[in-house]
Amino acid sequence: MKKYILLIWVILLIGCQDNILQPVENEVAIIEPVIEIPGEIIIKNSTFTKRFEIDPYDEKMFLENQLININLMKSIERFSYDYDDKNQFLTIVFQDQTLYVNLLENTLQLNDQDSIENRLVEKVLDQIYLDLDVMTSYFQFDYLTLEEPLFSLQLNFTNPVNLPITDRLLLLPDKINMTWEAVYNSPTKIENLYEMPGLDIISPVWFHLKDDSGAIQSKLQENYIEWSNAMGYTLWPAVTNNFDPELTSILLNDQKIRKYFIDELVKIYQENGFLGINIDFENINLEDKDALSHFIAELTAAFHRANIIVSMDVTFAGGSENWSKCYDRYVLGQWVDFLVVMSYDQHWGSSPVSGTVAGMEWLEENLTLLTDEVNPEKIIMGIPFYMRVWFERPSKDEVNTMKVTSDAITMHGMENIIASRELNKLWDETNGQYYVSYIDAKDNALKKIWIEDETSLALKVGLVHKFNLKGIASWRRGYELETVWDVLEKELRR
């Protein structure tokens, strides 16, 4: 009897455990987490399509008010903006149009037209928003919105824009032959000028940033204009920042000064009938890199509206902050018509080691990098009409070390050295140049020269064809042997 009672208890216990382990149906609801999939903005340019997540607040701003956060527009080609929070002033450049928006007065000005009421820009919670419908009335693009199944805003900037400057660019030679005319303290002596066969463009360095007001110092020379016109050369006068980083920073970061400087330049170039401008801004603070790009956007738009071609000088990418890293070559290449790369000073004046000014291997490596960022048909390659004599002397301070100094010489100076000494020229295959070295007892130095001549320059011009560049720009007129021009013409036009 006890056995039966024990068995009944075991059966009851097993039954209870089964009830504990088995959930009661419909008593516990399983809650699935709600996954919010963010909306997106799709921007289509002529060269790429980019997708970005759009946060719920920006999505709401668009759906309710057709407003888009200006930060979402950064990847659009040839779109740039600068906002001065202190003065509540916004400048927008797209293609060749410039909008000036004064949020304090709630006015908007397109290019040089009269100001009107601002209906384009709103500032909400310290963010700048643009009304897309109003924006399409100023700029050529279209957009599409989808709300199902997910929110999507598509901005299409792939429509071709016929810029007025295009026709002028089409009149240029297939390959450009350009040179600079350096102008320092004295005007150029017209009587010393000569014919340069095959030359298309001269860039006399005539204009400079004068002070922190944006005033322009001019060295314009009327008889030089007359001479160049008579010779059939096109003038693209150069403007510099006087290589002053502090003055440049003031200009780049002040909208009123920028506009004054640009307006004055346009006036000078229009009055004199110049067909192009060359911008030679160097020695710029690294923190002004983006400001420089926006300045170039404003300047290019203004000059294009005046039907004037814009070129800008840059260096190859390198380690120097003020002389190399300050350039956003990818962005600058979108704005200007031509980037003129100063492809020399591989070994600069104070280089700690002797070497060539521009070797072929160095040129090819850097042109490969540059053409990955910039359309090669927008690149004009600089070539040097100078070289350096290197002086190597035993160091008085370090063991087994040579102290290196150098002097820059012209091609005429090189010929004089060669003629005055019985020197054996050796061919440097890597650099594509002849090389000489000799002991100068008078200077107590071992001297070395990597020679720039017709042979080395012809090889450099060959890179124009190899990389499909737009042409060459030589630094500078007056440093060259006159026989060089026929060689450059032959190699460039082949």
pLDDT digits (tens, 9 = 90+) for 209-234: 999 999 999 999 999 999 999 999 99
Q: Where are the domains of the chain?
A: 39-156, 162-337, 343-358+381-468+485-494
Checking if the pLDDT of 164 tops 90, the result is no
pLDDT of residue 36: 60
Residue pLDDT, tens place only, 65-95: 999 999 999 889 999 999 999 899 999 999 8
Domain 39-156 indexed as CATH 3.30.230.10: no
pLDDT tier for residue 32 given thresholds of 50, 70 and 90:
low
Q: With 80 as the cut, is the pLDDT of residue 161 above it?
A: no
pTM value? 0.91
Cα distance from N-terminal residue to C-terminal residue, the chain: 118
Q: Is the pLDDT of residue 17 over 50?
A: no
Cα distance between residue 278 and residue 182, in whole Å: 13
Where do the H-state alpha helices sit in 253-315? 255-271, 289-305
Q: How many Cβ atoms are within 10 Å of 217's Cβ, its own excluded?
A: 13
- The least confident of 53-57, 172-176, 178-182, 204-208 is 53-57
Angle (nearest 5°) at CA 321 between 316 and 325? 40
Q: Max CA-CA distance within the chain?
A: 138
CA distance 248 to 281: 8
Average model confidence (pLDDT) across the chain: 92
Q: Which fold has domain 162-337?
A: TIM Barrel (3.20.20)
Q: What are phi and psi of 155, to 5 degrees?
A: -105, 125
**CATH class given for the domain over 343-358+381-468+485-494:** alpha beta
